[in-house]
Amino acid sequence: MGSNALRRGRASTPYAEYFVTVCLQPRLAVLVPDVAAVVQSEAQRLGDNSEWTLRSLTVMPDHLHLFFILGERLTLSQTIARLKAKTQMLVRPHGVDWQDNFYDHKVRREDSIESIIRYIYLNPYRAGLIQLDECWPHFYCRGEDWAWFQEMTDTDQPFPEWLQ
């Protein structure tokens, strides 16, 4: 089974929304600030090239979470492969590479967009990487989503009850 189970049933639908997690292999904390900033920039650049419309992202030390609307030119796997290819020269000098596969969830009509963005937003807090009064520098949320999501925060910070 293993990573083949991740591919089973994978759909690639243009203009569908996806929540994706991409991990390093081995899971070492090499996506440090300089590397994370470039990974974040490359993810945003894919949006500039219409590969996807990036809604939210967070780069963690050993993985990243992405929430996006897939474009029409490339399949889901091709789009993730492009991000991995553009950033692998950053991680390989640290003795790691991107895992061959990735976790994906095609967002359904009944799924909560707020829950997806909140999960991505809270990931560094839940991992204990930052305190409640800090902002994670490698979190991104597109302007129109941040406009409504920010109003749900405590002056750009998570409410303590969100972390329980």
pLDDT on residue 9: 57
Mean pLDDT, consecutive 10-residue segments, the chain of 164 residues? 53 94 96 92 91 96 97 95 95 94 96 96 95 94 95 86 84
pLDDT on residue 5: 47
pLDDT on residue 157: 85
d(CA 109, CA 86): 32
Q: Which of 85, 93, 89, 98 is nearest to 59 (CA)?
A: 98
Q: Locate all alpha helices (DSSP H) within the chain, ordered by sequence.
A: 4-7, 33-48, 76-91, 113-126, 143-150
pLDDT on residue 57: 97
Angle at 69 between CA 4 and CA 160, to 5 degrees: 90
- CA 99 to mean position of chain CA atoms: 15
Domains within the chain, CATH numbers bracketed: 4-163 (3.30.70.1290)
Answer whether 39's CB lies under 8 Å from 126's CB. no
